[in-house]
Structure 1
Amino acid sequence: MVQTKWNNEHIQYIKELQGKGYSSEKAVKVFNKHFNCKTSGRYLRQKARKAGYPFSNLDRKSVSPRTDISKKTIKHVQNKDGSITSTIETVINSEPNMSPEFLLEAHNYDPAKWKVKQSVSNQWSVISTKKGKQFNFQSKIVVEPIGNEIDTDELINLIVSHKEPYKRETPILLPSDSYLVVPAFDTHFNGETLKTYTKSLNKELNLINSKRWQDTCLILGGDVAHVDSFNSTTTKGTQLETTDVAKTVNEMEIYFETLISAILKHSNHLQLISTFGNHDKTVGYLFARLLECAYRNQPNMGFDIEPSQFKAYMLGKNFIGATHGNKGQKNYVANFASRFAEMWGRAKNRELFTGHLHTEMSKDLGGFVQRQVSTRKPTDTWTDELGVVATKNFELVQYSKEETEAVYYV
């Protein structure tokens, strides 16, 4: 399978399939076979709609006689979150009661399978010499499938409860004047990424194993996973290429547990902190919880994984701030100085780790050095269309007790 780099040939082929009467569900199978790719049905519909060739293949049930509707004009639009917006203009022979059941049937949705999220409807009466009193009826509703709700917290707690913690390992504590930050931003694991990162992982392990560390901070800086749902969408519902979430989490476990195991052997303490990304708010938090459960018996490991956009940790006398980089860019200094005033006051050196833009940049914000780290994430359709061009690497930063000593690119 290959990634799809969309061009006019793909759009014309979609148009050709539509001309043959294919629904989007059937078209995506033929499309993937023709181009040897794995585009999802939702992504295909999105591309077709943006190109001006939308599919119209909703399962429209016949309207119940109770609605008594004639001359109806109904339009359906698929939303990014899986819901559907439906609008109708029609004439009704009897006054509508505006109940959810009536609205669903009027819009050709089965009340046993769909529910109304939002609705705006109105009606007014008209007199016809032939048909007597009738009602003009206009309605706009947003519907979603029944049973589509997920209690995210309950789901995360259920998954984490099945994670068995590793056995307690007695740490070997040897004094050291070396400190290390391992920032992990924008790794975008997608189930097929680990092989791309193997070389970097080996370099990271070589550095970690090369000496004794007094303290190490591992930052899960957001967008560790490429998507945030089984539908291959991000936190905000942006449709991306089809991604196997189970394989994604497996890759993340292999990569980060390998790092953590090495750090625990060569560092007197390890602090794991995590921040929100814009791709994986739920999956990223779930994964941090899994790591917390796996290593909860380790006496020399601490966790700061509560959902938050901004985090900080004292590494010796080095203030280490972390945020994904998609929010609060204009006032980082004031934000961190006020949120973490006690640590800020004790620090001799202050640095901030960010990501998000997939490019490396170092900037002194006025006594607060921002390190925007790059990534080795392979270019996908979305970043290719945005024209993102950057040097691909990960980095680790070494400190003494109160100043920066070295940056390692891996």
Structure 2
Amino acid sequence: MAVPDVGLLKYCETERQKEVVQAFADGGSLRAAARSLGVTRQTAQDVVRLVRKRAVAAGYSPDAQMNTPFPEGISLKRISQRRRADGELLDYWQIGEPGKEQQEALLREFCAGLASSLAPSPSTPAPPVDTDQMLSAIVIGDGHLGMLAFGEETLGEDFNIEIATADLRAAIDYLVHCAPASSEGLLVNVGDFLHMDDTSNKTPASGHALDVDLSHHRLMRIAGVLLRYAIDKMLTKFATVRVVNAAGNHDPHSARALSMFLEGIYENHARVIVEPTKGKFYFLEFGNNLIGITHGDRIPANRLAGMMTQHAAEAWGRTKYRRWWVGHIHHKRFQEMEMGCSIESFNTLAAGDAWHASMGYSAERGIEMITLHKEFGQVGRTNASLALVRAFAGGELAA
């Protein structure tokens, strides 16, 4: 049963809500409040219930002995209690968390700090290109930067941030070296670029413990610098560079932060387009080509084709060559769907961790670049195994 409380006035957002709450406090009942305002009792009850819900979220509810509101920007996450065996309440405590607006503000503050010592990239003249009819896409399979693996434990190779950084830089160098000088370059991260999303060192959804090599803060900085290296390298070969940074199941929030960081770095660069990381799905159109990009952790392959026809219907009608690029499984798979599109997953440069090794999972390690023509679809592909990438970095291949 609702109890009159003038303390709820603080949580009213409109003048009408204040009138109802004040009338409730003055009249002592919802019926009296409704009568004085000329509204129904149900209307008065709905208003009080809405305001009370907002107050509880802020940590205020005298009925439940919650008399100390949370600071601004913090909302109630849960209440824990300690009781005797007979059920008598001994103690309780409130646990808060940043509200959605506060989380957004903290994320932007984090990105500002990440970029504080990195000057924005100035716009530079485009290199000479051979054609404006082609796009070359460098597709980074699940990078898992920050993951730690011991070869003796996994029956594979050691893996840490130094190895991951060296391999990815070498891979970018090799693929840009091989790429045709064309009008557009596309840098695609299909998700799980980072192994962990925060300082808990657990996967966000399932809570699986992760073997990590460094702090999350340091990882974010290294990842931002590494993506900037890739973009700047691609700018030496392509007139424009577009970046798609998909969110994975390991890094749903950090992927968004990295995109915001890159948006700030390249804000004044006319040749770089950073697609914001908002949802799970991206659609890009290039001539007769329609490209869908997602991590692939929440939707089976047999539903992706239908989703493309539904959410990119107009682009579907304009194009002939339709493809999905996905990650998540770390294996190379290609499936041509009857509906008129293909679904392709990619290998990763990362070694397997202890969990994957214990489950018997393994796959080839490598990276790919796919070249598309506006009229003819795919016209080229460069497959670079990890061994080839390292040979190129070591000067073992002819330039």
1:151-166 matches, cutoff 5 A: 151-162=102-113, 163=115, 164-166=119-121
Query: Which residue is equivalent to 2:379?
Result: 405
Q: Verify: 1:364 aligned to 2:336, yes or no.
A: yes
Pair 1:190-2:124 in alignment:
no
2:208 aligned partner: 238
Listed as ranges, the matches of 1:4-403 within 5 Å are 99=65, 117-118=78-79, 136-137=86-87, 151-162=102-113, 163=115, 164-172=119-127, 174-176=129-131, 177-190=133-146, 192-196=160-164, 198-199=166-167, 201-210=169-178, 211-236=180-205, 237-242=207-212, 243-329=214-300, 330-366=302-338, 367-401=340-374, 402-403=376-377
Sequence identity (%): 17
Distance 1:353 1:100, change over 3 A: same
Say whether the 8 Å CA contact 1:209–1:262 is kept in structure 2.
Answer: no
2: distance between equivalents of 1:119 and 1:303? 43
Point out where structure 1 has 5 or more consecutive residues left out of the alignment.
1-96, 102-114, 124-134
C-alpha separation in 1, matches of 2:357 and 2:271? 42
* Cα distance between partner residues in 2 of 1:143 and 1:184: 45
Match of 1:49 in 2: none
CA distance in 1, matches of 2:344, 2:332: 8
The runs of 5 or more residues in structure 2 that have no matched partner are 1-62, 68-75, 148-159, 385-399
What letter corresponds to residue 222 of structure 1 in structure 2? G
Deviation at 1:138, TM superposition (A): 6.5
Instruction: Return the TM-score normalized by structure 2.
Output: 0.65
Alpha-carbon separation, structure 2, partners of 1:147 and 1:363: 43
CA contact (8 A) 1:312 1:321 kept: yes
**Which 10-residue stretch deviates more, 395-404 or 366-375?**
395-404
Please tell me whether the aligned partners of residues 216 and 315 of structure 1 are also in contact (alpha carbons under 8 angstroms). Answer: no
Three-state SS of the structure 2 residue aligned to 1:302 is strand
Would you say the 8 A contact 1:310–1:323 is kept in 2?
Answer: yes
TM-score by length of structure 1 reads 0.63
The 2-side partners of 1:363 and 1:138 are apart by 61
Task: Assess if the C-alpha contact under 8 Å between 2:202 and 2:209 holds in 1.
Answer: yes
Matched length: 290
Q: Which amino acid aligns with 1:261?
A: D
Match in the other structure for 1:72 = none
| Inter-CA distance 142–388: structure 2 relative to 1 (3 Å threshold) | farther
For 2:335 and 2:146, locate their aligned partners in 1 and report how far apart those are by CA, in whole Å.
31
Cα displacement (A) at 1:306 = 3.4
CA separation in 1, counterparts of 2:96 and 2:182? 53
Tell me which moved more, 232-241 or 326-335. Answer: 232-241
- Larger RCO, structure (CA 8 Å, separation 6 or more): 2
CA distance in 2, matches of 1:238, 1:140: 33
Partner-residue secondary structure (3-state), 1:178: strand
Structure having the higher helix fraction is 2
Q: Distance in 1 between matches of 2:245 and 2:90?
A: 41
How much is the aligned-residue C-alpha RMSD, in angstroms?
A: 3.0
Q: Are the equivalent residues in 2 in contact too, given 1:227–1:280 (CA < 8 A)?
A: yes
- CA distance 1:232–1:172, shift in 2 (3 Å): same
